[in-house]
Amino acid sequence: MNPDELTRSFAADPRNAADPTAWFDQLYTAAGAGAAEVPWDRGQPNVLLVEWVDREQPPATGRTVVVGAGYGRDSEYLAGLGFTTTAFDISPAAVGQTKKRFPDSLVEYAVGDLLALPAAWRGGFDLVVESMTVQALPEPPRDPAISGVVSLVAPGGTLLVIAAGHDGPAADRDALDTPPWPLLREEVESFARDGLEMVSLERVVMPTDPGIPRWRATLRRP
């Protein structure tokens, strides 16, 4: 079974029906034991994040948080640029393995749930990076998860959203029974809530994967 098929088998396991996030830890646990691969771990930070940082030149001041950090590729990249970085994932196995991979890391890694965030994190970050996490959730709880991401942004702060996009009918996307569920334009636009304002929304075609467009959205809180 290839990594994508194995991942979908974890997500489709009927034992996880009551908790649509349980499969994340099952996958990372299996990967830690050498029995699976995490298909979205490319061994490097997301190129759309790197391009955005190069273009926008955000100051490496204040606090940064990476949502759904996985194996820490984006987090370590940002910390290496000087950002004070927190990174969280719902999977304890992912967090534990990442800490072992980067024993001298400056990143503060933590287990965290977008649907039950610590009060101290709300409104606490000047740069929030959400890359390919919300799309891994069905609806529900996708919309509450979007609200969780938005809640992390401090006054004057910035949110960067990166996601696979869906150009066809919503019904076709919603018919998928396993993740990812590429985000519709209106779903990306819905990050502009609770005072957050859309600055730019880009549809990017990746030369290495032209069949699936990507969204890259920049939002700010006044």
pLDDT tens for each residue of the chain, 222 residues long: 688 888 889 888 888 888 989 999 999 999 999 999 999 998 999 999 999 999 999 999 999 999 999 999 999 999 999 999 999 999 999 999 999 999 999 999 999 999 999 999 999 999 999 999 999 999 999 999 999 999 999 999 999 999 999 989 999 999 998 899 999 999 999 999 999 999 999 999 999 899 999 999 999 999
116: helix, coil or strand? coil
**What are the helix and strand counts (H, E) for the chain?**
8, 7
Q: What is the DSSP letter of 165?
A: B
pLDDT reported for residue 3 = 82
CATH superfamily, with its number, for domain 43-220 = Vaccinia Virus protein VP39 (3.40.50.150)
72 near 98, Cβ under 8 Å?
Answer: yes
CA-wise closest residue to 217 among 97, 109, 128:
128
